[in-house]
Structure 1
Amino acid sequence: MSDSGAARPWAVIRQDGNGNRYRVGSYATRAEAERVAERFEGAGRRQLYLVERIGGAHNGN
């Protein structure tokens, strides 16, 4: 059994002007997710791209 949330606990979320949110990808590290979000923003897209940890609480990492 595989839990993709455990293998890729960081998500890039796209939020549009109406507040609708969509997950565009899941990544193994926060740094990787931030790089992807920056690429989307740098491509001139008007939506907001956020990086969030998938799942419950974490221990500060």
Structure 2
Amino acid sequence: MAVPQLYYFDLRGFGEYIRLLYLDNKIEFEDIRYNTGGEEWPEVKKKMIFGQMPALKHNG
């Protein structure tokens, strides 16, 4: 079974609800965080389907 991947910034916001939902239900997931204003975000943004986060990938 594939592990879901959560992409979000390293802060509390809309992504925090998803994190808490997974943690509360003891669902394994990969938490991928980016620094706010970090140098890697412009490149990652191009790969996001709508160019924004939070983004959740499940089974590719």
Q: Larger relative CO (CA 8 A, sep 6+): 1 or 2?
A: 2
Q: Larger Cα Rg: Structure 1 or Structure 2?
A: 1
